[in-house]
């Protein structure tokens, strides 16, 4: 007996210990700043609840179309997502359809429904109808005693103005981004995105020809097919779409290889050569064409500066291949399309850690938590805690209802605000962030970030509206060049490689060759040759890539521990101060008219506008000489002349 008691007390002691550590684990936040003043919880919660939300993702149609339905009852709150849990709990499709068939009485349908409801009501999906019933209809619970009254109140509420009441007044949503296709909307409630998945997810000639017909293109070649896509995209632009959405994670793996046109054309011709009587080609056979078309869609998104929303993670419905929708499958696209802003949906549930890395690593990858808080409030809390520590706060969007009915959107918005409040309060409580930082973060992740990414307030995310950039001056001038993607010197005379004479490679100590005065520093004679690192060297013309990058690796090999020079000329109509910008891999020296204006030994990648160099140009021809060292790996540079008025002429040297 004694041993049992001691065992019981030991057990309860262990349980309390685990409980306590778990609780402290939740709050195991390091302190980095001051602890908050009393009352911070209420102030943060109030601030979060007062934010006018930008709802990043919905499948809402218009109030008119919904009100066309004649009778509404309790099942109205159970139409989406919860049905997946009801089926997961064992409800057959037949019973499901009977429950939603209004030919049967509400009572009979409730009786069939309730055993599955009681099994699923605790899930995140199950919380939604309960919150809606309570907050919108004043019904505390959905059970035997309330379902009839709830049905009556739902039916009574379905009148014009209900959408404004629920979305604007109750949920505090200013705008919802809807994903329901190429349709026009009530701009008071919605803006929209469009999908071009049909052009990607093709298997047969009839699908391709059909798309051509829809967009007025007779498709005989892959170019015709891309033209049809461009036409579809153009009509989306005319409808003022604010982004592109792809939901193909439901149909295939998210890995889209960068396929050559030739390879895609091969598959295209194979598909077109098959008539309807032949069985569909399998996925592996058509994948190259699909991957190619996804790249063409992203080309258009980049060209028109539209963000791209991608379904990742969990699939609605019952039974899919979750590993198909891992966000890391998309890695190559993030590299290939640096100018496209990818909004990764649904917190990539359950791959939140992968998403953390991708959003931290790639400037063009954003976290969109739409759908997540109803999938799992706990997952949402846990990962929002982590993402606020790993990802800049201007890269997270914390609310998207992802519903077809406003009542569920409302309930989801309540859960999303509660998750955001709770996480921020915990971070402030432990002194990880201040109350002011918390409220700033709340505004960003529930409103401002979406405004910027989808350009809903005219505010552009890249800071183009920063006052410092609009006031006249060098910053304004440089920004004008950046916007025009202009001013890069694209034609150079180059000579090399010379030896950097590096005995020991050091990021801080320049190799002797960096300061050695090789012949180009004494004279510019294009006809002359000199002894270099791998034998004699002479001047030759070199063109940069389209981006403006001059790649010495493509000109000189081997080239570890090498030095090269690039020469160009700038014609100026008068004496003036000017700015040139430099990006170099690795360190560099710059002379203007033989005067050294810049010198830095450094190991780095070549990034446009990394160094802003003020120079004096004289009337007439100005010589610019650049010396670039290479430790190893990439060896490149990019030089821009800041000339917003277009008065300077960059001439091909020696012309």
3-state helix, strand, coil in the chain (%, to 5): 45, 20, 35
Please identify which residue in the block is written with the tokens 């001056």.
473
CB 135, CB 410: distance < 8 Å: yes
* Cβ distance to Zn ion smaller for residue 247 or 431: 247
CB 183, CB 64: distance < 8 Å: no
Please identify which residue in the block is written with the tokens 């990764």.
344
Cα(643)–Cα(647) distance, rounded to whole angstroms?
A: 7
CA distances in angstroms from 31 to 42, 302, 427, 537, listed in the order given:
21, 41, 9, 60
- Tell me if residue 82 falls in helix, strand or coil: helix
| In the complex, minimum distance from the CB of residue 311 to Zn ion, in angstroms, rounded to a whole number | 7
On the 0-12 / 13-18 / 19+ scale of CB atoms within 10 A, 244 is buried
* Cβ distance to Zn ion smaller for residue 368 or 402: 402
CB 570, CB 650: distance < 8 Å: yes
CB 164, CB 254: distance < 8 Å: no
Per CB under 5 A, the segment of 281-289, 375-383, 399-407, 560-568 that binds Zn ion is 399-407
By CB under 5 A, what part of segment 484-523 binds Zn ion? none
| In the complex, minimum distance from the CB of residue 340 to Zn ion, in angstroms, rounded to a whole number | 20
CB 531, CB 497: distance < 8 Å: no
* Cβ distance to Zn ion smaller for residue 402 or 643: 402
| In the complex, minimum distance from the CB of residue 116 to Zn ion, in angstroms, rounded to a whole number | 24
* Cβ distance to Zn ion smaller for residue 121 or 245: 245
* Cβ distance to Zn ion smaller for residue 402 or 477: 402
> Can you say how many angstroms the Cα of residue 599 is from the centroid of all Cα atoms in its chain?
37
| In the complex, minimum distance from the CB of residue 98 to Zn ion, in angstroms, rounded to a whole number | 27
| In the complex, minimum distance from the CB of residue 56 to Zn ion, in angstroms, rounded to a whole number | 10
641 forms beta bridges with 580
* Cβ distance to Zn ion smaller for residue 321 or 466: 321
| In the complex, minimum distance from the CB of residue 309 to Zn ion, in angstroms, rounded to a whole number | 9
* Cβ distance to Zn ion smaller for residue 402 or 452: 402
* Cβ distance to Zn ion smaller for residue 354 or 402: 402
By CB under 5 A, what part of segment 188-217 binds Zn ion? none
* Cβ distance to Zn ion smaller for residue 45 or 402: 402
Cα(127)–Cα(374) distance, rounded to whole angstroms?
A: 8
535 forms beta bridges with 532
* Cβ distance to Zn ion smaller for residue 402 or 448: 402
By CB under 5 A, what part of segment 410-469 binds Zn ion? none
* Cβ distance to Zn ion smaller for residue 343 or 414: 343
* Cβ distance to Zn ion smaller for residue 203 or 345: 345
| In the complex, minimum distance from the CB of residue 189 to Zn ion, in angstroms, rounded to a whole number | 17
| In the complex, minimum distance from the CB of residue 81 to Zn ion, in angstroms, rounded to a whole number | 10
Per CB under 5 A, the segment of 26-34, 92-100, 265-273, 394-402 that binds Zn ion is 394-402
The 78-117 contact track toward Zn ion, x by CB under 5 A, reads: ----------------------------------------
- Tell me if residue 639 falls in helix, strand or coil: strand
| In the complex, minimum distance from the CB of residue 155 to Zn ion, in angstroms, rounded to a whole number | 27
For 28, how many CA atoms within 13 A lie in the half-sphere containing its CB? Answer: 9
| In the complex, minimum distance from the CB of residue 413 to Zn ion, in angstroms, rounded to a whole number | 15
CB atoms within 10 A of CB 477: 18
223-227 contacts at long range (C-beta below 8 A, 24 or more positions apart): 225/199, 225/268, 225/293, 226/293, 226/296
For Zn ion, the binding residue among 291, 402, 569, 636 (CB under 5 A) is: 402
Per CB under 5 A, the segment of 269-277, 402-410, 524-532, 634-642 that binds Zn ion is 402-410
Please identify which residue in the block is written with the tokens 């402030």.
428
For residue 241, give the nearest of 465, 61, 462, 456 by alpha carbon. 456
Task: Give the neighbor-by-neighbor strand order of the sheet with 243-246.
Answer: 53-58, 173-178, 190-195, 243-246, 308-310, 342-344, 365-368, 396-397
* Cβ distance to Zn ion smaller for residue 400 or 561: 400
Per CB under 5 A, the segment of 170-178, 388-396, 400-408, 594-602 that binds Zn ion is 400-408
- The verdict on 586 binding Zn ion (CB under 5 A) reads no
For residue 640, give the nearest of 632, 648, 630 by alpha carbon. 648
How many residues in the shown chain lie near Zn ion by CB under 5 A?
A: 1
| In the complex, minimum distance from the CB of residue 411 to Zn ion, in angstroms, rounded to a whole number | 16
| In the complex, minimum distance from the CB of residue 53 to Zn ion, in angstroms, rounded to a whole number | 17
Cα(543)–Cα(12) distance, rounded to whole angstroms?
A: 76
| In the complex, minimum distance from the CB of residue 345 to Zn ion, in angstroms, rounded to a whole number | 7
Per CB under 5 A, the segment of 1-9, 83-91, 397-405, 469-477 that binds Zn ion is 397-405
* Cβ distance to Zn ion smaller for residue 415 or 625: 415
Cα(599)–Cα(587) distance, rounded to whole angstroms?
A: 8
Three-state SS for 184-229 is CCCCCCEEEEEECHHHHCCCCHHHHHHHHHHCCCCCCCHHHHHHHH
Which residue has the CB atom at the shortest distance from Zn ion? Answer: 402
Residues with Cβ < 8 Å from 646, sequence gap 6 or more? Answer: none
| In the complex, minimum distance from the CB of residue 444 to Zn ion, in angstroms, rounded to a whole number | 23
DSSP state of 171: S
Enumerate binding residues for Zn ion (CB under 5 A): 402
């Amino acid at each position: 007996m004694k041993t049992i008691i001691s065992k019981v007390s030991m057990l309860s002691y262990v349980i309390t210990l685990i409980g306590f550590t778990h609780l402290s684990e939740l709050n195991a936040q390091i302190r980095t700043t001051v602890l908050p003043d009393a009352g911070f919880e209420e102030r943060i919660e109030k601030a979060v609840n007062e934010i006018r939300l930008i709802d990043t993702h919905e499948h809402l149609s218009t109030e008119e179309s919904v009100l066309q339905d004649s009778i509404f009852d309790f099942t109205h709150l159970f139409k989406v997502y919860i049905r997946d849990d009801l089926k997961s709990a064992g409800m057959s499709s037949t019973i499901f359809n009977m429950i939603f068939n209004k030919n049967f009485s509400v009572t009979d349908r409730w009786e069939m429904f309730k055993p599955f409801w009681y099994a699923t009501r605790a899930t995140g999906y199950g919380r939604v109808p309960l919150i809606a019933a309570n907050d919108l209809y004043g019904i505390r619970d959905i059970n035997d005693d309330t379902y009839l009254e709830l049905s009556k109140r739902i039916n009574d509420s379905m009148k014009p103005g209900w959408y404004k009441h629920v979305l604007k007044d109750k949920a505090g949503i200013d705008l919802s981004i809807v994903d329901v296709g190429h349709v026009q909307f009530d701009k008071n409630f919605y803006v929209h995105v469009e999908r071009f998945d049909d052009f990607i997810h093709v298997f047969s000639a009839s699908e391709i020809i059909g798309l051509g017909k829809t967009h007025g293109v007779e498709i005989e070649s892959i170019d015709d097919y891309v033209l049809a896509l461009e036409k579809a995209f153009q009509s989306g632009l005319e409808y003022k779409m604010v982004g592109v959405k792809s939901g193909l994670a439901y149909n295939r793996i998210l890995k889209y290889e960068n396929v050559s046109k030739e390879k895609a054309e091969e598959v295209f011709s194979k598909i077109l050569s098959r008539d309807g009587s032949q069985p569909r080609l399998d996925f592996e056979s058509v994948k190259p064409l699909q991957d190619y078309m996804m790249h063409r869609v992203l080309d258009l998104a980049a060209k028109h500066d539209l963000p791209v929303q991608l379904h990742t993670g969990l699939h609605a419905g019952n039974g899919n291949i979750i590993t198909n929708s891992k966000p890391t499958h998309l890695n190559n696209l993030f590299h290939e399309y640096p100018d496209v802003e990818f909004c990764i949906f649904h917190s990539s549930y359950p791959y939140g850690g992968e998403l953390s890395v991708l959003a931290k690593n790639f400037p063009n990858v954003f976290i969109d938590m739409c759908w997540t808080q109803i999938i799992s409030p706990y997952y949402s809390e846990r990962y929002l805690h982590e993402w606020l520590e790993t990802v800049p706060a201007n890269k997270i969007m914390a609310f998207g209802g992802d519903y077809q009915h406003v009542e569920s959107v409302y309930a989801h918005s309540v859960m999303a605000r509660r998750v955001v409040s709770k996480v921020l309060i915990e971070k402030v409580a432990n002194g990880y962030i201040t109350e002011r930082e918390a409220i700033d973060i709340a505004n960003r992740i529930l409103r401002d970030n979406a405004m910027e990414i989808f350009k809903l307030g005219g505010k552009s995310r890249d800071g183009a509206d920063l006052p410092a950039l609009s006031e006249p001056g060098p910053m304004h001038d440089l920004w004008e060049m950046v916007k025009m993607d202009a001013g890069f010197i694209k034609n150079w005379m180059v000579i090399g490689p010379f030896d950097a004479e590096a005995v020991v490679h050091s990021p801080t100590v320049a190799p002797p060759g960096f300061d050695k005065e090789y012949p180009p520093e004494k004279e510019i004679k294009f006809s002359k040759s000199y002894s270099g690192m791998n034998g004699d060297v002479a001047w030759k013309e070199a063109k940069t890539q389209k981006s403006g990058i001059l790649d010495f690796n493509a000109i000189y090999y081997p080239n570890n521990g090498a030095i090269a020079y690039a020469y160009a000329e700038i014609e100026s109509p008068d004496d003036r101060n000017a700015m040139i910008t430099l990006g170099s891999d690795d360190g560099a020296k710059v002379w203007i008219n033989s005067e050294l204006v810049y010198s830095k030994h450094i190991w780095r990648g070549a990034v446009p506008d990394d160094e802003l160099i003020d120079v004096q140009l004289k009337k007439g021809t100005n010589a610019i000489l650049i010396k670039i060292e290479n430790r190893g790996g990439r060896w490149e540079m990019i030089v821009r002349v800041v000339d917003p008025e277009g008065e300077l002429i960059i001439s091909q040297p020696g012309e």
